[in-house]
Structures are given as C-alpha cells and as structure tokens.
C-alpha cells in the first residue's frame, strides 16, 4: 500500500500458533554482520544480543536467509526518516520505504535509467544506525515502470537492487497478488513456469538467486481480515510452493483490523500459520482513529496478540507522524507530541517516548 496505492476493496478500510515471549519485541534490534553499503563502504556489526538479527528469537532460515529477532518498525515519512527533531532509530528498529522502493519510483520506464537516490538514503540510514532494512516491493500491479517490461528487464531490476543493497533482510517480492492487482507483464515474467501463478514463482526464484540472504515474502491486504480472502491467499501460497517458489514468509498488511475482536484476530493468525506453514510478518499495520482513547484500546488489544503469537516474526506500522500517513488518523505522534498509543507502545517495548 502507501501513497499512490489502489484503494482497499470493500469494507477493508473500515476503519493473524501461540507461544513466544512478549519480551522478545523489546529493546533495539541490531542488524548483525555488517556489509557493503549503497556507497560501497563497510558497516560495523550491529548491536543487539539475543534480540538481534541472527539471534534465537525466530524467523525463517531457509534458502540462506538468516533468522531475525522480532522487531517493531515503521516506514519513511515521505522520503524523510528523522523528522521534527526526532531520531527514527530511537523508536523503531526496522524501516520500510513507503514508496521509494517500488519499481516505478526507481525506474520510470523499463528502458530508462535507474534513480536510486531516495532509496540510497534509506538504506544508508539503516547501515549507519544498525536497524533492519525491508524492501517494498519488487513486483506489483501498481507503481511499476511504464510499458510492458520483459523478463530480462524484471531480472535486471531485481539483480541491480540486490547488488546495490546487500544487507536487505526482508523483501516483499510480490505485493497484492490477484485478484487485488495484476502486473501487465505476467506473461513475460512467467514464461517457462507452470501453474496459474508461474509469474509469482519466477519472481521468487529471481529474488532468491540475486538476494540469497533475504527473507522472501508474499504480501497482501485483507488476508487476515476476511475468511474468503484469507483462504484464497493460502491457496496461492500452496500453489507457488508446489511449483518451487522459494518463499520464506507471508505478509499481512493489516489495514482493516480496527474493529476486529482479539479472539477473531488470533483465530485468523492461527489459520494463516497452519494453512501456509510459514512465518507471518505484519507489514502495514495501522489503526485510523481520531480518538486517542479508542486507538489506544485497539493497540492494547491487538499488539500483545502479535507479540505472543509465535508465528508472527515482526510488525511494521504504516506511518507514525499524524497527518502524514496513508490513512487518516493512523499516526502516533502529533508534531512531536505522542498520542496515547505511542506512549503505551514505547513503554511496552522499553523505548523512549517522543520527543525524547
């Protein structure tokens, strides 16, 4: 989702195995290992201990993707990271670029030059501040280059990204699969693959080939909100796994949870975990509420479920500066003044409360 994304269908904007340690979401998660930055330099190993990348608290490890500690992250604000004098990495241990990682933001046409400037800045920030970088997104039915990209052009995009940003830890390989969105180049991308979703399978194969250390995710909306859409998403995952897609995890955007009960949310998460057999990332969580008390109540009911569900490996909240988020009233900070949900969340995570 994000600015420029298609609207969520139906009632989506009205407004997902138990166990695990609630405490595993606390503190600051460091990215382990170090690696080459966008500018070609060398970053220091990250801080973090058991909660750090490669620690013991979970995450997929298939296909060369090392496990990550559980995290609670957020997104860029426009193309900014630190904002209003507040340092992003004090409050969030992971970042997703809201728009600058989408193919169409980097390359206006499939035959044109790459413009990495905005994405370079986000990646460099993660290397300097030792927080997790998540890419959003390689293949999508929106915000893509003009024209009809060829298979070679799709691969060049993925290969070029992976070479430039080698410490990318998580990737939304395909975002919002059918019926939500369908790229206009599926026939080119899926050539030689079998099944209804051969193009998705191929996208995952390319991502594994060129970004072997990243956790590869199929991301969608409404897939832990509505039973029919959850079942359809699970079916897609089963089909691409059977076709050989090296998928590591699933992503649940979670834009439509505002009125969902805690018991229903837990049931839907359990269904997703058992149905796909994969870890879950909450990728775009937001609660659009102008009333601070109501937003706080929803956070207090739902965040502990994510924290205590073993299958859930991380949460990304879709914006934190109120008035500058994709959905109205989802922000957690007014200017530099925290809303009640932000104060509560930082307390739960053992992190400072803005503007500190």
Which residues participate in catalysis according to the annotation?
A: 176, 284
- Report the C-alpha dihedral over residues 347, 352, 354, 356, rounded to 10 degrees: 150
Q: List for the chain the helix, strand, coil content (%; round to 5).
A: 35, 15, 50
Query: For 226, left (φ over 0), alpha (ψ -120 to 50), or beta?
Result: beta
Kindly tell me the number of DSSP H helices and DSSP E strands found in the chain: 10, 10
DSSP character at residue 327: S
Alpha helices in the chain (DSSP H): 88-91, 103-106, 117-129, 151-164, 186-189, 198-210, 227-242, 262-276, 292-308, 340-349
Give the whole-angstrom CA distance, residue 301 versus residue 263: 10
CA distance 93 to 337: 20
Question: In this structure, what DSSP letter does residue 226 have?
Answer: -
Distance CA 14, CA 3 (A): 18
């Amino acid at each position: 989702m994000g600015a420029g994304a298609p609207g969520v269908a139906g009632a989506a904007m009205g407004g997902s195995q138990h166990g695990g340690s609630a405490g595993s979401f606390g503190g600051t998660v460091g990215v382990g290992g170090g690696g080459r930055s966008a500018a070609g330099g060398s970053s220091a190993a990250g801080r973090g201990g058991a909660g750090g990348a490669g620690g013991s608290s979970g995450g997929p490890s298939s296909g060369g993707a090392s496990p990550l500690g559980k995290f609670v992250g957020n997104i860029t604000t426009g193309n900014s990271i630190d904002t209003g004098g507040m340092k992003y990495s004090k409050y969030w241990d992971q970042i997703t670029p809201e728009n600058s990682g989408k193919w169409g933001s980097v390359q206006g046409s499939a035959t044109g030059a790459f413009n990495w400037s905005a994405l370079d800045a986000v990646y460099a920030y993660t290397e300097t501040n030792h927080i997790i970088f998540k890419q959003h997104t390689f293949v999508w039915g929106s915000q893509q280059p003009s024209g009809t990209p060829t298979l070679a052009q799709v691969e060049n995009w993925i290969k070029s990204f992976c070479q430039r940003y080698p410490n990318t830890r998580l990737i939304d390989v395909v975002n919002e699969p059918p019926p939500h969105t369908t790229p206009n180049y599926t026939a080119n991308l899926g050539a030689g693959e079998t099944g209804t979703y051969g193009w998705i399978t191929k996208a995952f194969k390319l991502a594994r080939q060129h970004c072997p250390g990243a956790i590869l995710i199929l991301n969608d909306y409404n897939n832990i909100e509505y039973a029919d859409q959850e079942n359809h998403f699970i079916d897609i995952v089963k089909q691409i796994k059977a076709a050989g897609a090296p998928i590591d995890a699933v992503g649940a955007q979670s834009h439509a949870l505002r009125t969902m009960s805690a018991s229903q949310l837990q049931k839907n998460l359990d269904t997703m975990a058992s149905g796909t057999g994969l870890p879950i990332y909450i990728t775009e969580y937001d609660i659009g509420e102008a009333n601070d008390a109501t937003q706080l109540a929803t956070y207090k009911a739902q965040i502990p479920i994510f924290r205590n569900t073993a299958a859930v490996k991380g949460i990304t909240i879709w914006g934190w500066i109120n008035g500058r988020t994709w959905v109205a009233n989802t922000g957690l900070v007014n200017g530099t003044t925290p809303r009640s949900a932000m104060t509560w969340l930082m307390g739960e995570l053992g992190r400072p409360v803005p503007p500190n």
